[in-house]
Amino acid sequence: MTDWHGRAAALYDGGFRPMFIAGQWVAGRGVAGRAEAVIEARNPATGALLATVPRGTAADIDAAVAAARAAFEGPWAKFTPFERQALLLRIAEKFEQNWETLCLSDTLDMGMPISRTLANSRRVLGMLRFYAGQAVAIHGQTIPNSFPGEILSQTVKEPVGVVGAIIPWNAPIAGSVWKIGPALATGCTVVLKPSEEASLTVLLIAKLMQEAGLPDGVLNIVTGTGAEAGAALAAHPGVDKIVFTGSTATGQAIARAATGNLKRVSLELGGKSPVIVCRDADIDKAVPVAAMAVFANSGQICIAGSRLFVAREIHDEFVRRVGEFAAGLRIGNGIAPETELGPIISARQAERVESFLQAGPAEGAALVTGGARLEGAGFEGGNFIAPTVFGGVTDDMRIAREEIFGPVISALPFDTLEEVVARANATPYGLAAGVFTTHLGTGHKLARRLKAGSVWVNMYHAIDPAVPFGGVKMSGYGREGGLEHLDEYLDTKAVWINTD
């Protein structure tokens, strides 16, 4: 059995971890001259200091963008599609060889149970290998035109240039690869700003990619706050495209900042996803899937199916069984293999979730299970919230309207399919939705009518590198995964040639 505690002690010792610019590990422009020039990375399960990282400045962003530009216009531009493919395959192999270390880093830095991080290998390694395959499949078209004579018209696909990527803290490994993979496949270069809440795994990713032969400047990592480093990256005139995953409010600010040079923008934002359980659903199969649609990663996931609409005929039984399932989940330090729910990322986020736990009963919701912060033996120093289920919820309650980003389910009864579709769509968000039914026609009907970027029928959380993922409405625009994802990183140039 793996000694995760021993490996954890060897991985992070509280020391300083520099950022990565132009192939060099650097302290950053501000570390020597500012009293608060570093950010502490603490284990959300224990509060223990793991490491410190630089609090990057606008000057660090300038240096990283310059490095990315020099690489894009220099050595990286000479890489053929087959050479980019080979590099991505070497990176995938390096990740596979060090997968347990990457997963341990994520578990320590942001709390996701080690059992869950380890299980993400198919998705993450699959992404890298999918993008490697696409690197040699990018091509334009020869298009017939209406001009007389021998005039040829064709399109050429070209990399958009320097990509600024900003990722959240809830899935650093997958979040990084989802931004870096398509950029490398298409020939772009990247400046990546990880969340200040979870930067350590992203720095480890850069180290592994460098060992795999990544040329200097193709990937640059600037750690720091969103208000400082993130804002500077979003507004930077040397960045050709910005990709962001995070809150809707921050996405709106990034979109505004990007107008300076009209850089291209892709946004994957928040959600308040509905899960609809029809009266003919297989309750035994639906209960655990519907519950984990929220409780996976302690509810800290953008696609969390936190609005649970249940047909009135089965509502009471279904909600009771979801509550029993929630009460039986094993909560604790993610480093323990038996842990199913880890901590909330920070004390600040835990306090925010607690405000919803208080708001629910205050507005008339009935607490089925959970509803409190966990303290005492096994939870010392950590940010733990019990998995919570509220019944008696109405559409106008805060817990039914606002994204909580915590382990909280709001159960709402419904009577007809027409009614539940209207209520499910009555939200500014449109990221994901789930449906449980044993009637194929009902599944198809609801999938078509729900306003969401992804709809799962009799399942949830399925994400594959070849399948596009993204939102509509206030959940953002652009897609990650699939061929659409590659197009986000490419410009189409029209070429006309008079051959006569």
Active-site residues, by number, are: 268, 302
Closest CA to 243 of 229, 228, 258: 258
Instruction: Record the tokens describing residue 63, joined without a space.
Output: 């240096």
Three-state SS for 54? strand
Closest CA to 409 of 321, 474, 471, 311: 321
Amino acid at 287: V
Three-state SS for 336? coil
The answer to whether the beta carbons of residues 477 and 455 sit under 8 Å apart is no
The answer to whether the beta carbons of residues 76 and 217 sit under 8 Å apart is yes
Instruction: Record the tokens describing residue 37, joined without a space.
Output: 């020039």
Instruction: Record the tokens describing residue 268, joined without a space.
Output: 């994957």
Q: Is the four-CA dihedral 391, 397, 399, 400 of positive or negative sign?
A: positive
Ordered DSSP codes for 244-257: EES-HHHHHHHHHH
Three-state SS for 204? helix
- What is the side-by-side order of every strand in the sheet holding 388-391? 366-369, 388-391, 408-414, 307-311, 274-277, 432-436, 454-457
Per DSSP bridges, beta strands 264-268 and 241-245 are: parallel
